[in-house]
Amino acid sequence: MTPIRLLFPASLLLLGYASLSGQGTRPKSPEVNFGRDVRPILSEHCFKCHGPDAAKAAAGLRLDSFSGATAHLADGSAIVPHNPRASLLIDRVSDPDPLMRMPPQGAGVSSLSPAQIDVLRNWISQGAKYEKHWAFVAPKMPSIPTVRETQWPKNPIDRFVLSKLEAAGLKPEPEADRDTLALRAAQTLTGLPPTLEELNAFRHDNQPGAYERYVDRLMSKPSYGENQARYWLDAVRYGDTHGLQLDNERAVYPYRDWVIRSFNSDLPFNKFAQWQIAGDLLPNPSTEQLIATGYVRMNLTSNEGGAIPEEFLARNTFDRVDTTSTVFLGLTVGCAKCHDHKYDPIKQKDYYGLYAYFDSTQDEPLDGNIALPPPFIRATTPEVEARLTLMDRRLRSDLEAIDVDKATKWFEANRQPPLVSHDWQKSEVSSFATFDEAFDNPGPAEPGQVGKPAWKPLAFQLGKDFPNLIGKDNSFVYVKGTFTLPKERSETLQVGSDDAIKLWLNGKLVHSHKITRGLADGFDTVKVEFRAGDNELIAKVINAGEPDGFRLAAGQPGDAEVDKALAALRRSPKDQTARRELQRAFLEYGPETDQAGAYRKLEMDRTTLEQSAPMTLIAREMPKPRPTFILKRGLYDQKGPAVVRHIPSALGSLPASLPNDRLGLATWLIDPSNPLVSRVFVNRVWQQNFGTGIVKTVEDFGSQGEWPLNQPLLDYLSVSFIQNGWSVKKLNRMIVTSAAFRQSSRISPQKLAKDPENRLISRGPRFRLDAEVIRDKALKGGGLLVERIGGHGFKGYQPDGLWEGSSDPASSTHFYVRDRGSDIYRRSLYLFWKRTSPPPVMVTFDAALRDTCIVRRSTTNTPLQALAVLNEPSFLESCRTMAARVLTTSGSDAKRLQTAFELTLGRPPHPPEATLLLRAVTRYRGTYQKDEVAAQRLLNVGDSPQTKSAPIADQAAWMIVCSSLMNTDEFLTQH
Amino acid sequence: MSSSPNTDMDPITEAELLMTRRQLFGKATLGVGTAALSRLLTLGGMGGVMQMASAMEGPGHHGIAGFPNFAPKAKRVIYLFMSGGPSQLDLWDHKPKLNDLFNTDLPDRIRNGQRITTMTSGQTRFPIAPSRFKFSKHDNQEDGIMVSELLPHTAGVVNDLCVVKSMWTEAINHDPATTFIQTGSPLPGRPSMGAWVSYGLGSMNEDLPTYVVLHSKVSSGKPNQPVYPRLWGTGFLPSQYQGVSLRSSGDPVLYLKDPDGMDRKTRRAMLDDIVALNHKELEAFGDPEIAARIEQYELAYRLQASVPDLMDLSKESKETFELYGEDAHEAGTFAANCLLARRMVQRGVRFVQIFHRGWDLHANVGGDLPSQAKDVDQACAALIKDLKRTGLLDETLVIWGGEFGRTVYCQGPLTHENYGRDHHPRAFTVWMAGGGVKPGIVYGQTDDFGYNIVDKDGNAINPSADKFTPGAVHVHDLQATILNQLGIDHTKLTYRYQGRDFRLTDVYGHVVKDLLQ
């Protein structure tokens, strides 16, 4: 009872009327499900103005919650539960006057259809229950549906699928034939056709479980991990360049290789996710865990002249937040950059709460246009680490074999007394316009120059870094010191400098090295002859840019350590560290014995092996996080209130037991109770295998996304994925061995009408293959594919001028120099990915550009695709080498045609196809026999050698036939 | 103020029909596949597909339902993009009072605390650099317009130009600014304007792409600032709507040419085999995508003839070459590209974009700007005249401009003859012609320093993207206006992605009616 109600007797009247006539007299209305039926209508037509965006709630009305929708406003309540007639919502959306009707004209959303209004009416009649959006409620293991056709299902997936089919009055298709199945499973799991051996083994395996055995074999191949990695690399926007402006090369491919390894070793997805988001914050992170954090660094970066670091910090962080939420949560939080999300319960504050987890990494906002903007590590693989451990063990046992007493005696007999110096001084600093001038121009301290520098004392010590001598760019300083010796002596100096260096000893130039480097970047070894008495050493240190410094040590490398160890052993002969040090020094710097030679070689091999591992970008957290603010309208210079790290409030809050940093965030994501992460991922794996997700909008599980067509199936997969230890292999195996996946992909007219997009899985998967698979298949058929895993991206055939024409001449990726040799035949996954100009064939076939997170590629069908497969050199070259393989088949053209079919389509030809193409090969052969010059020109494509063992007209004719097969829809389609 | 909807069809029924179709096909497959599928349905089964496959219909996409939203003024667009940011102060925005202020400091009240790039933010002074170039007055439909001596030919067609001196943008660096003006967002991932148009309106021809991009040689040899495929890409739209880059060397379209040693007869025979194989597959599997694939192969075959025909300038008259200048004989020059653009719009290409780089003159404006201007001046004027004499100008919207303007203060050493200018987003000049814009007018003005946009009384306007500010034209306003001329309500051309209806103008943009006839 409220005073407001009294003011509106009409409402009361209506209420009474409705309650009199509403129930009982009418047939029972269909049961309405809020999430499936109602929320999409409200979301599409109403939430823009009456949704979660509190600031925009027009007329104070919010329709996204029960309390908001039933609140008493000036005219009454939008919704009166059980009473559609009293509900103003129904009045307003069905008002015949277009001026009064909601949503208003010009709101950019359309009016409701009568059917939609009926849904709302029924929903209100049934109590207007609001339920939490389905995707925000953790999945429970659903009960397995009962089905009429009990013979068909092979695993639980099939019962979920079949129950939908039976409800729609459809029957599944029969199982596809073995050749088709073999190709389909191999393409979906490994992105390649099966080898002939694999195919034949499967063809001739008549025991039960043949297909499952075949699938297991496919999943144990390294190409499995490569193919699974593709999808992940799209999602995280992996690229080999920074992606903006100069678009210079970026060194991060060890991350890509780690992703491949992880899928192959079936690293549980929860760890896979956690390491990427926060591997650096785990206790004592392993190399693998650090490599994984390349994920955090995958955002586009720039160092454009004039760029404002703060602006790029915001851009970089937006990129990380948007990607993380799409990849793991299936939520598009980006809208909340500028305002509360209009459709999903993500507040602007929540956006910046997530943002705060990602804006405090150590990397600079601007990338310096270098390949390795710190932090980075050396990315040793587990194999290399194992070999290094083995080598370390051998080195240690060599050391332990050394007699310490013998070593002590040898060193005591062979060591020179330590060199002593005194009277160190430095000159004033001289500055120039350029580094070159600073290096070349002599100052007064140099021999032959007029005048004397004003020397000032310097607390310089041998063997210690002396930084900040100069403090200016393009400048030099002189440093001098005196060495007093009882007798003449040969000596080795180790000279470190930042940057360049010149050395004079007793007025004679003994060393000059023009270089830009840091003190930590190693040193020059300089052999000098000291005379008896005083020796004057002058060093000129030339600095190119901040910082600067100088370091000088005398004696053999290791002298200092030996001196220290000898002294320690004199004090306590049992000092283990000193004994070990002396043993090591004895092998490294002691007498030249076979034993020492072997040790030094092994040590060098170890270093070489370690240094063969490439560097890769990683994430490291700043010691103290940056303060984070809401950025109004998403503008970096429009700071609003401060925000602390938190997860979107609609999804709960981070448990107090977790650290409030990326590690806490990652750990929360992979908690089995998280409603989204497992569903979002299994849905994408389903999409990989069937072409479309169970939720078609794989990128959006929010209220604007699609309601899952088969939520029990999604939940079953999601819960069992977690129960199976987050094993991606088990998930793939379950899908690929289901009867649903094994159906023929034939489309009957009935199914085309009832299930045009195959959303009910009324047939097997059928969709155009991805760019990478099409190219790799072609190379494989031509026997060209080089299946080497990992490493630096390769540059294959590419029309001239694509990079040069689109990039700044100052870019490190301005000139395209393609690779030679076997590299160019590697799998497409390893194509060097310049983000502003990706490989053209890939782009033509809808590959993700890798400049934003893409979890669903488009699959277009264009004339440019036809031109690529018809004319691009790798396709033509594959046809040429395939023709050579075909021609090694002895016997008739018919036999050869069979080989051509096996190599392209993985099946023998049907009789009409054989007739057609045998006629074609005869015709082409005739043409090219008459014009062998043309035949040879056709065969000139590509780097690989041409066979000499077949007539060129035959080769040309078969090359065209192979190309015809490669251009069929069947070749280009998963079917 | 109220107007009843003027439609023959019940809007609800129409919406339902539209929705049903969307449910059937899904948005991601809109396009060729859908076209094929819908025809398959109407033709009633497999027999229909077989017939249809031999009755080809052009590049297939004919726009989305309801577009254009109203009668278009322009059918085609030619966008001349000057990458790097041309100096408005040396070309269009005449500021004679600056001559007395040479090397004096830019007053604080003019800069007014606005941000500047880190290339000049460290400068201790912001000395004024007056233009070293002479301006002279040329008649237009109003009081005439002052044009720089660097643009003598363009000055001759100002009677056809609608010159906007009050463009502004929010981005201050090239990559974000160029991405912004091309795609409506400074961050990558959105469709380019041409892709939006191509998606919304579809193709007007049978054998050429809908959206074509051309790159021009820069005679200074300093093509600073990259222009890369993202700028004519499709973002989240299906990739068929992306701009096709026509190259001046090698294959004009990638992989257009048949391999060496294969003649057209063999190619045709081979395609016939492919069609026959695909027909058999279609019979066996009934997938309408197969029929679509057959179509695309036929279209590819036609492209192999139509593109070389388009690129072949040998039949152009002597008069035409006189109009465009000697440069037009050399493939890949801006002049040759302008001539190609005219040939394309004649052939029904809907959106042509010509890129010319090298305008990013942080130094040596005196040395490099004349050559930049010379690269484009005659051809710009020629294009206008040529379109006019061929009767195409009325329905072709031509746009000239860059991603931002340049500062009045000098970057680096300053002399009367030479100086550099940094990026200036707060005011710059673009011009438009044809396609229903007002000819011979000037819109908007800036203060005596060319720094801020001002109203007619000289008071600074502080424009905001949130609301339309008369006198100022934001990037989203320009985009809205261009779409408007094509018959598109910029608020209606949307695409649902990640749960949101995206559009070129984001949530901003207003049609600048004062620019329109």
Task: Compute the nearest-CA separation of B99 from chain A (Å).
Answer: 28
Computed from CA positions of residues B394, B253, A856, A354, in that sequence, does the dihedral angle turn out positive or negative?
Answer: negative
Residues in chain B where the model's pLDDT stays below 70: 1-60
Residue A57 C-alpha, separation from nearest chain B C-alpha, in angstroms: 17
- Chain A, residues 851-910, CB within 8 A of chain B, namely 851-852, 856, 858-868, 870-872, 876, 910
Question: CA A50 to CA A182: how far, in whole Å?
Answer: 53
What percent of chain A clears pLDDT 90, i.e. is strictly above it? 72
Best of A45, A180, A862 to substitute, by most chain B Cβ atoms within 10 angstroms, is A862
Check if the beta carbon of residue A566 is closer than 8 Å to that of residue A411: yes
Residue whose pair of structure tokens reads 């170039």 in the numeric block: B133
pLDDT of the residue at A344: 80
Q: Is B464 exposed, middle or buried (0-12, 13-18, 19+ CB in 10 A)?
A: exposed
Burial (CB count within 10 angstroms: exposed 0-12, middle 13-18, buried 19+), residue A742: buried
Cβ separation A800–B498 shorter than 8 A: no
Partner residue facing A799 (CB), from B238, B254, B281: B254
Q: How long a stretch of residues is chain A?
A: 975
Distance CA B171, CA B173 (A): 6
> Residue A521 — very low, low, confident or very high, per pLDDT cuts 50/70/90?
confident
pTM higher than the cut 0.90: no
CA B470, B473, B479 angle in degrees (round to 5)?
125
* pLDDT, tens only, A204-223: 999 999 999 999 999 999 99
Cβ–Cβ gap A867/B303 under 8 Å: yes
Q: State chain A's mean pLDDT as an integer.
A: 91
Residue in B12, B258, B296 nearest the CB of A871: B258
Q: How far apart are CA A949 and CA A945, in angstroms?
A: 12
Q: Min CA distance, A868 vs chain B (Å)?
A: 6
User: Residue A173's closest chain B neighbor by CA?
Assistant: B285
- CB distance from A699 to chain B under 8 Å? yes
User: Are B259 and B268 within 8 A, CB to CB?
Assistant: no
Q: Give the angle A386-A392-A398 at the CA atoms, nearest 5°.
A: 145
SS3 category, A846: coil
- Residue A72: strand pairing partners: A77
The minimal CB distance from A861 to the residues B235, B247, B296 is found for B296
| B492 closest CA partner among B156, B68, B25 | B68
In sequence order, what are the beta bridge partners of B428?
Answer: B167
Q: Taking the alpha carbons of B443, B448, B454, B455 in that order, is the dihedral positive or negative?
A: negative
Which residues on B lie below 8 Å from A334 (Cβ)?
A: 498
Confidence band, pLDDT 50/70/90 cuts, at residue A60: confident
Give the model's confidence band at A931: pLDDT under 50 very low, under 70 low, under 90 confident, else very high.
very high
- Find tokens 């956006």 and name the residue: A351
Structural domains in chain A plus CATH codes: 3-131 (no CATH), 251-378+621-671 (no CATH), 382-413+566-612 (no CATH), 417-554 (2.60.120.380), 871-974 (no CATH)
Question: ipTM of the predicted structure?
Answer: 0.81
Mean pLDDT comparison of A229-233, A423-427, A532-536, highest-scoring range: A229-233
Q: How is chain A split among helix, strand and coil, in percent rounded to 5?
A: 45, 10, 45
Which residue in B has a C-alpha nearest to residue A876's C-alpha? B259
Using a CB-CB cut-off of 8 Å, the residues of chain A touching B32 are 860-862
Structure confidence at residue B226 (pLDDT): 87
- Exposure on the CB side of residue B111, measured as CA atoms within 13 A: 17
Name the DSSP letter for residue A418: P
Q: How many CB pairs under 8 A join A and B?
A: 280
DSSP A860-925: ---HHHHHHHHH-HHHHHHHHHHHHHHHHS-S-HHHHHHHHHHHHHSSPPPHHHHHHHHHHHHHHH
Place of tokens 């429009």: A638
Asked if residue A825 lies in contact with residue A787, where contact means CB atoms within 8 angstroms, the answer is no
Contact A924 B26 (CB under 8 A): no
Closest approach of A219 to chain B, Cα-based (Å): 28
* A343 with B229: Cβ contact below 8 A: no
Cis ω on the peptide bond leading into residue A499 (within 30° of 0)?
yes
Model confidence over A245-265: pLDDT tens digits?
A: 999 999 999 999 999 999 999
Kindly identify which residue of chain B lies nearest to residue A106, measuring between CA atoms.
B491
Question: How confident is residue A806, by pLDDT bands cut at 50, 70 and 90?
Answer: confident
Q: Which two tokens stand for residue A939?
A: 């065969």
Integer Cα distance of A104 and A112 in angstroms: 11
Backbone angles phi, psi at A156, to 5 degrees: -55, -30
- Dmax over CA atoms of chain A, in Å, equals 122
User: Which of B257, B266, B288 lies nearest to residue A960, judging by beta carbons?
Assistant: B266
- The conformation of residue B122, written as its DSSP 8-state character, comes to T
Q: Is any Cβ of chain B less than 8 angstroms from the Cβ of A644? A: no
Q: Which chain B residues are closer than 8 Å to A940 by Cβ?
A: 260-261
Segment among A400-414, A709-723, A951-965 with least mean pLDDT:
A400-414
Size of chain B, expressed as the number of residues it contains: 517
Instruction: Looking at the complex, report in whole angstroms how far the Cα of residue A761 sits from the nearest Cα belonging to chain B.
Output: 15
How would residue A490 be classed by pLDDT, with cut points 50, 70 and 90?
confident
Give B137 to chain A, closest Cα distance, Å. Answer: 36
| Location of structure tokens 């919704």 | A79
Domain B76-107+131-249+331-494 is found in CATH 3.40.50: no
pLDDT of residue A557: 67
Residue A638 in contact with partner chain B when CB distance is under 8 A: no
Helix (H) or strand (E) holding B42: helix B32-43
Alpha carbons within 13 A on the beta-carbon side of A854: 24
Question: By the 8 A CB rule, do A527 and A547 touch?
Answer: no
Query: Taking Cα atoms as reference points, which of A604, A603, A504, A492 lies closest to residue A555?
Result: A492
Most confident of A63-77, A150-164, A392-406, A695-709: A150-164
Q: Which residues of B touch A838 (CB under 8 A)?
A: 229
Q: What are phi and psi of A328, to 5 degrees?
A: -100, -35
Tell me how close the Cα of B414 comes to any Cα of chain A, in angstroms: 19
Residue numbers in B near A865 (CB within 8 A): 296
Residue A469 DSSP SS3: coil
